[in-house]
Amino acid sequence: MIAAILKTPAGLAVTNNAKGVSAAGAPPIIQTMLHHLPLVQAGTAVLVSLFVYFIYSAVLVGIAGQTLGMMIFELRVVTTRFAHPSLARSAWRSTVGLGSALTTAALLGCFFRVHPHDRLSRTRVVQGRRTI
């Protein structure tokens, strides 16, 4: 068993062993945080993934009007007036899209032809190649 002991400035001994991280003599809040450390790390990974998806979607739709998957299936995003969406509108579309994906709006969206995030951002997904 490998155990690493780290002395903190407050004089607390923090150990990392096969059973997990423990802080002997630490305040209860620190012990609770260390007990739930794997959940915090998993939550951080989820937040980073959502942020990367937001940037990917907003930038590609704002610049090219399509994500890579949309390019493969020949779909593109347009405004309600069939114009190319601006970077700000595509960022708003991604923000609302992430919000609806994290709520029940994503489940309700499958019953409508225009999804809630497209309706709120005044965009539509249409089929057809992008014209420059």
* pLDDT (tens digit per residue) in 24-68: 667 777 777 767 777 767 778 888 888 999 999 999 999 999 999
Q: Is residue 13 part of a domain?
A: yes
Does 21 score more than 70 pLDDT? no
Beta-carbon contacts of residue 27 (< 8 Å; ≥ 6 apart): none
* Residues 31, 91 within the same domain: no
Domain span holding position 120:
46-127
In a domain, 40, yes or no: no
> Does one domain contain both 81 and 110?
yes
Could you tell me the pTM of the whole model?
A: 0.65
Q: Which residue has the higher pLDDT, 88 or 13?
A: 88
φ and ψ at 103, to 5 degrees? -125, -175
Same domain, 24 and 53: no
Whether residue 31 is found in the same domain as residue 59: no
User: Is there a contact between 40 and 48 (Cβ–Cβ < 8 Å)?
Assistant: no
pLDDT at 131 (0 to 100):
58
Mean of the per-residue pLDDT values for the chain?
79
Res 7: pLDDT: 47
Amino acid 105: pLDDT:
72
* Strand-pair partners of 14: 6, 23
Domain count, the chain: 2
Same domain flag for 114 and 81: yes
Q: Is pLDDT above 90 for 116?
A: no
For 99, the token pair is 């919000």
Element (DSSP H or E) covering residue 4: strand 4-7
Q: What is the pLDDT of residue 4?
A: 45
